[in-house]
Amino acid sequence: MNKVASYLRGHISGEVTTRDDVREAMSIDGGVLRLKPDMVIYPRNTNDVRKVARFSWQLAEKGHILPVTVRGAGTDATGAAIGKGVSLVTTAHMNRLFEYDAKQKLVRLQPGVTIGALNQGLALHGANIMALVGSHPYGTVGGAIASATTGRLAGKYQTIEPAIDQLEVVLANGDVLQTKRINKRELSKIKGEQSFVGDIYRGIDRIIEDYAEVLDTLRSNDAVGYNTIADVKQKDGSFDLTPLFVGSQGTLGIVTEMIMKAEFRSLHTAVAALTFDSSNAARDAIDDLCKLSPAFVEYFDAQLFDTAAKAGREYAFYAEAASTLTPTSVIIVGFDDFSERHRAKHLKRLTKRWGKSEGVVLASADGDKAEDILAALDVAHYTMWPDQATGATPRLFGGFHVPTERLEDFARGLELLADKEHVDLPLAGHAYTNTYSVYPTLSLSKVGDKQKIFKLLDELTKLVYDHSGTMLAEGGEGRVKAKFVYSHLDDKLVQMYDEIRNVCDPHGTLNPGVKQVNEVRELAEILRDHHEAGQNARYGL
């Protein structure tokens, strides 16, 4: 592999290293797996990425597979940011914010830009990419697109897909694709080209025609596979490959530049915390709260607050509520209207409806006084990362969708699952979009807990689908979840996803093993034996 590294050093402007300690650092992500690359490359520009992809393609044509895995900050928890072969790290150099068109509110940037840096830059113009609000600030924008990240504001401002105007993508053979919506005439012209780009347009258009009935069954809140193919071709015949790369986790191409649509954002948020003594009453309140057009509605099992309190972190509103009732659930709702008067009006409505209701304690605030309630949005931290380093919550049990009308039955099933597996499963999530997570505390140093990871994934996936839900409303399946999710999909749908991948990556060089079924035995072999919070701890947990 040193010969390959030496060759690449002579042909790209970025750095190439085979140092064992660097490769070890890139062998883990925010999840539970360890997969060590053969080399790490820090590309400086699109041309570097092109040359690496082209080299990998040429080796594959000769029968030698050199996988290429693109990596941002490594916050993905599903194993999509780790792999053998080349780890292509964008954060070192491909981290530039090129320009912002204030009139159109369009920003052009590279994938290694962190979400925090983008938000800070746009904040100077009073704008933001709303779908990224609430995401890890040290995560990259490229990673957010690759994983179809959806923040807590998605209920009001939609997901990340509509926020993407155009993408520059390096394809598996090193060619560059500039995505945009094209009309029928332009599509016909591109399909006539004898090139890999032409092959992709022809292949995807054929799949859309061949699987028309399957496309009609796809759900907008399901991010599994390449579900966004449903958004590629419109009724007027116009065609845009941009959606196809959203959530593809680096398996169809490598995004090297993007143009995104920002929106004006209020600098102030009015918030209210409703603490309930009945989980059923809390879940019943979700629909009424969503009708108020809030920025977000976040649901938490009270156990998460109790765990925080045991660690010494008490939230004033929760402690006050606990002095008058026994909490079971907490809902935090926020309003980001530009007008202070409008925000006050929302809080007044909440007070009128729940201020004197039995079994619920309401606390509200606006401006600087809202900080204590807003801080509670991160209450799960104390469950996910307890002081005892032997235990933590693997970030594998989140991003699933359960409709509000089935949530109560789902919660009962979750209690039965927790009893069966002898583990607490506190529930929390974005109630506005019905996207939830559970937080089991497990130890990677215990064989029983390692086995429990896969048991819980299997049982939780069944439970979600049994309650008319989807296991991947946000985030991708990566290496870990595919086996459990794909077993619940129609065979023809899985076949369609396989064909999409074969069209875009015929030699299997782009992130092999991701968005593909890996048997539990194979996953167990690369399962870590301890938690690694330290990698991202310098940025915050």
Query: pLDDT for 96-128, tens place per residue?
Result: 999 999 999 999 999 999 999 999 999 999 999
503, 199 contact by CB (below 8 A): yes
Contact 276, 324 (CB under 8 A): no
Q: Are strands 39-42 and 86-89 parallel, antiparallel or unpaired?
A: parallel
The single-letter code of the amino acid at 486 is Y
Q: What are the φ and ψ backbone dihedral angles of 5, each rounded to 5 degrees?
A: -60, -45
Architecture of the domain whose range is 270-379: 2-Layer Sandwich (3.30)
pLDDT at 539: 52
Q: Which residue has the tokens 């506190």?
A: 426
Q: Name the stretches of the chain with pLDDT < 70.
A: 389, 533-541
DSSP string, 125-139: TTEE-GGGTTS-TTS
Q: Which CATH code, of 3.40.50.1860, 3.40.50.300, 3.30.43.10, 1.10.940.10, is assigned to 2-92? A: 3.30.43.10
Residues of CATH 3.30.70.3450 domain(s) within the chain?
A: 270-379
Positive or negative, the Cα torsion across 250, 75, 378, 348? negative
Instruction: Please report the pLDDT score of residue 343 as a whole number.
Output: 96
Residue 535: predicted pLDDT: 54
Domain with CATH 3.30.43.10 in the chain: 2-92
Residue 245's pLDDT is 98
The count of C-alpha atoms lying within 13 angstroms of the C-alpha of 337, restricted to the half-sphere facing its C-beta, is: 17
Query: In 3-state terms, what secondary structure has residue 282?
Result: helix
- E-strand spans in 397-483? 398-401, 427-430, 435-438
